């Protein structure tokens, strides 16, 4: 199939939203780490926080290579920032209520919401690199290959944590750490299979 050119302005908008998502992700993970009660989860989110900071650096390298000003504001970027700030505030509000287990679940939900957008950004960046032809292609391809696996872990593993923490809160046997974490899931199909086969990992009461 012949590769097609892409809308440079819209790809640029995607990059600004991606950068803002990573910047907001740092703040979200800082709050999530402080709210985490499970030691394995705290360790996992601390790792993701470090990786998120590195993703910022990778994107800033793309901006430099493409001659883009990382300080430019766009309407979409402003919306992404607002959403990120709202998630930070949600975790802070949950922590202030004093129920540590409930706050941990809220933190997991907020990370899943943030990583859903983050994962989409990188999926689209990878799609442009794979299917488009234009001046950004090589830079996007290199960046995508650096972060793809880590972004998969961030989303699919935290979704597993969130589900199992909720199950535990319902008074039912939970798999902690979740099977997504144990199996090192890296795809949506792998995550679905891990959830379906969670029973051997459930901690019996």
CATH code of residue 65: 1.20.1260.10
- Is 3 a member of any domain? no
DSSP string, 70-119: TT---HHHHHHHHHHHHHHHHHHHHHHTT-HHHHHHHHHHHHHHHHHHHH
Task: Tell me what pLDDT residue 3 has.
Answer: 72
- Is 111 a member of any domain? yes
- Is 162 a member of any domain? no
CA triple 64-119-116, angle to 5 deg: 130
- Is 148 a member of any domain? yes
Distance (Å, whole) CA 118 – CA 132: 21
Judge contact between 201 and 182, C-beta under 8 A.
yes
Number of domains the chain contains: 1
Indicate yes or no: pTM above 0.85: yes
Q: How far is CA 16 from CA 10, 118, 153, in A?
A: 10, 12, 23
- Is 144 a member of any domain? yes
Task: Tell me what pLDDT residue 205 has.
Answer: 47
Please provide the distance, in angstroms rounded to a whole number, between the alpha carbons at the two ends of the chain: 55
* Per-residue pLDDT tens listing for the chain (205 residues): 557 799 999 999 999 999 999 999 999 999 999 999 999 999 999 999 999 999 999 999 999 999 999 999 999 999 999 999 999 999 999 999 999 999 999 999 999 999 999 999 999 999 999 999 988 999 999 999 999 999 999 999 999 999 999 999 999 999 999 999 999 999 999 999 999 989 888 976 4
Domain around 46:
8-152
Long-range contact pairs involving 170-175 (C-beta distance under 8 Å, separation at least 24): 173/202, 173/203, 173/204, 173/205, 174/202, 174/203, 175/201, 175/202, 175/203
- Is 32 a member of any domain? yes
- Is 183 a member of any domain? no
Task: Tell me what pLDDT residue 199 has.
Answer: 86
- Is 205 a member of any domain? no
Distance (Å, whole) CA 161 – CA 32: 13
CA triple 113-116-118, angle to 5 deg: 110
């Amino acid at each position: 199939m012949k590769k097609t050119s892409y809308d440079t302005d819209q790809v640029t908008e995607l990059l600004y939203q991606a950068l803002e998502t990573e910047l907001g992700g740092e703040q979200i993970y800082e709050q999530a780490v402080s709210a985490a009660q499970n030691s394995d989860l705290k360790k996992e989110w601390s790792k993701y926080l470090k990786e998120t900071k590195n993703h910022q650096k990778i994107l800033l390298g793309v901006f430099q290579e493409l001659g883009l000003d990382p300080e430019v504001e766009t309407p979409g970027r402003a919306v992404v920032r607002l959403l990120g700030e709202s998630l930070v505030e949600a975790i802070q509000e949950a922590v202030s209520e004093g129920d540590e287990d409930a706050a941990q679940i809220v933190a997991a939900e907020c990370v899943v919401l943030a990583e859903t957008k983050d994962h989409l950004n990188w999926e689209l960046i990878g799609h442009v690199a794979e299917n488009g032809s234009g001046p950004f292609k090589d830079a996007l391809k290199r960046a995508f290959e650096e972060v793809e696996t880590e972004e998969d872990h961030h989303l699919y593993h935290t979704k597993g944590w969130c589900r199992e923490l909720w199950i535990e809160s319902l008074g039912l046997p939970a798999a902690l750490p979740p099977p997504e974490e144990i199996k090192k899931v890296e795809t949506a199909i792998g995550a679905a299979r891990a959830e379906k086969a969670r029973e051997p990992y459930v901690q019996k009461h």
